[in-house]
Structure 1
Amino acid sequence: MDPDRLRRLTLTRLSDPCAVQVAAARRERPGPPDGDRVLIIAADHPARGVVRTGGRSMTDRADLLDRLCVALSRPGVTGVLGTADILEDLLLLGALDGKLVFGSMNRGGLGGSVFEVDDRFTGYDARSIVDMEFEGGKMLLRVDLDDDRTAPTLEACARAVTELAGHGRIAMVEPFLARRVHGALVNDLSAEAVTASIGIASGLGGTSAYTWLKLPAVDDMERVAAATTLPILLLGGDSGGDHADRLRRWEAALRPPNVCGLVVGRSLLYPSDDDVAAATDQAVSLL
């Protein structure tokens, strides 16, 4: 980002905090998704303390915003998912017109912490998502059957699903069955575990009318996706590993009729060759 542009962004935050709300009110809201596939760019990783991907640093905020603006400008990109700090920068930069915008709601379960499964709602709530005129909210739900701190997260997610639906807003739920392995919380990515997580997430709240599921692209996705009629978006994961192999896994996992797209962050924003536009276009081509 040009240093002058970055300075103007910071000075706006310093001298005119109301500019964020003004930009939100002026944002051109999108209509329903064009067709039956969507691509959402995820950018809520910094709030969980994730600062590296594929061995690279992601701490330069201006660089991250540049990458997000490139990705969001590509044809076929439907929207973005992020925390308030990032989404408000993008609003002030004018990068969110015509895009679906999802506010990240629970970021309190910091990665690697002893309280990781107790994922408090430290980001957006339903009221603030409505006030910002965003299209929905996203929540992470890790279920550790051996940790009673899972229960408050289940309850909070159920409440958020109900409240978002009450305002006609989408609840994007990202569920995992997880367990402690040598002290670290590890997601179970077996088809059986992902299928079980679908049942838990789908039943949250007083209605599922506005619920979308965000799931990993696992083997036997046909059988996994058959566990629900809710829209499924596949999560993209880290930028490490072989990108061609990742694209093949996404392509295979997109085949079930209720898999409706991708939610991808680091692997598109920080590709190994730094060509964000090309990486984003490749993802769009799968849809």
Structure 2
Amino acid sequence: MSDTYEQIRQVRLHEPERIGELARRRSTRPIARDDGRLLLIAADHPARGALRVGSDSTAMGDRYDLLDRLAIALSCPGVDGLLATPDIVEDLLIMGVLDDKVIAGSMNRAGLPGAVFELDDRVTAYTPGALSRSGLDFGKVLLRIDLQDPDTARTLETVGRLVSESAALQLPIMIEPFMSRRRNGVVVNELTADAMVQAVSIAAGLGDTSAYTWLKLPVVPDMEKVMAATTLPVLLLGGDPDSGADDIYRAWEDALVLPGVRGVVAGRRLLYPENGRVADAVATAAGIVHSATPAVAR
């Protein structure tokens, strides 16, 4: 891959304008194909300073290793696309591995883990206009709601504006909502069905239309109750990378049959599997996502 990475460095040095051209000229596809399912590989972690995988606190900080893993994952049958921030999307565009893929651009967040301003989740990456100009397919934004933190009001207003701006451009936007609170100074998300129903209900009502709104949700106990709270399309979070793979895959299988669940967005779980075999982990995930038979909606 050394020649490929030298090409990236040369384009960034001498031809930065070419990056936008590559984005606009890439071959595209419908967001959902015949089975209505999506498997997206997530790589938006580095931009929020979340580099840890297992015991390695800077595993995702090696950009070349991460790009190697992403190139393998994106080449696997059944992988529909990518969720990432502009820097990673642009590296992969130069590498030529994003043709015929769905690209979800992360709007990222200012509220970095552990910061005193952690819940002040302002947009720091893609905007709806930038996504549209680049010919990308989705926007993604986090929404953490802490009823005891005044920064939540600003976050709600920001996400509502992003939903409206995206819809005006006919650009789908994924909201990843949580009810959150500080516990001993650390922000934690409430991963119960009741908390997720509350978060989903708040998220779905943001913006001047929900026509282009999707949700990105964790799998929690009593997931049927969560999915009964919304008619919006839902993609599942990949799950805790420190949990056992079998448990995660079983949770996906159970949730994917629920009405409204359209697929999975997974990152470290697939890019850094315990056995190191990225292609095998991705193949397993793709088989689960694209073989699931949804239940009949009520």
TM-score band w.r.t. shorter chain: over 0.9
Give SS of 1:237's match. coil
Shift of 1:150: 0.5
TM-score (structure 2 length as normaliser): 0.94
Measured after TM superposition, the shift of residue 53 of structure 1 is 1.3
TM-score, normalised to structure 1, is 0.98
Q: How many residues align?
A: 286
Q: Check conservation: 1:51, 1:58, Cα contact below 8 A.
A: yes
Q: Does 1:38 align with 2:38?
A: yes
Q: Which residue of 1 aligns with 2:180?
A: 178
Alignment of 1:1-287 (within 5 A): 2-34=1-33, 35-56=35-56, 57-287=59-289
Runs of 4+ in 1 over 6 A off after TM superposition: none
Separation (CA, whole Å) in 1 of partners of 2:96 and 2:240: 27
Structure 2 unmatched runs, 5+: 290-298
Amino acid at match of 1:267: R
Q: Deviations over 1:62-107 (max 9, x none)?
A: 1101111111111111111110000000111111111111111132
SS for the counterpart of 1:169 is coil
8 Å Cα contact 1:54/1:241 also seen in 2: no
Deviation track 1:181-219 (CA, whole Å, cap 9, x = no partner) reads 000000000110011100011001011111110000111
Distance 1:277 1:112 in 2: 33
Per-residue CA deviations over 1:84-136 (Å, capped at 9, x if unaligned) read 00000011111111111111113211011111111110001111001111011
Maintained 8 Å contact 2:44/2:108: no
Aligned-partner Cα distance in 1 for 2:259–2:37: 10
In 2: Cα distance, 1:71 partner to 1:149 partner: 37
Gap change, CA 1:185 and 1:24, over 3 Å in 2: same
User: What percent identity do the matched residue pairs reach?
Assistant: 51
8 A contact 2:86–2:105 mirrored in 1: yes
Distance, in Å, in 1 between the alignment partners of 2:107 and 2:146 is: 20
Q: Tell me if structure 2 keeps the 8 A contact 1:217–1:235.
A: yes
Question: Matches of 1:249 and 1:32 in 2, distance apart?
Answer: 24
Give me the whole-angstrom Cα distance separating, in 1, the residues matched to 2:130 and 2:60: 27
Aligned partners of 2:17 and 2:129: how far apart in 1? 18
Would you say the 8 A contact 1:53–1:238 is kept in 2?
A: no
Amino acid at match of 2:219: A
Q: Is the 8 A contact 1:222 1:255 kept in 2?
A: no
Q: Which moved more, 1:80-89 or 1:251-260?
A: 251-260
User: Which residue identity is paired with 2:43?
Assistant: A
Deviation at 1:252, TM superposition (A): 1.1
Structure 2 distance, partners of 1:32, 1:102, is: 10
The residue identity in structure 2 corresponding to 1:87 is V
CA distance in 1, matches of 2:179, 2:55: 27
The AA in structure 2 aligned to 1:224 is V
**Distance in structure 1 (CA, Å) of the matches to 2:159 and 2:183:** 25
Structure 1 residue 233: Cα displacement: 0.6
Aligned residue type for 1:9? I
Unaligned ranges ≥5, structure 1 = none
Matched to 1:13, the amino acid is R
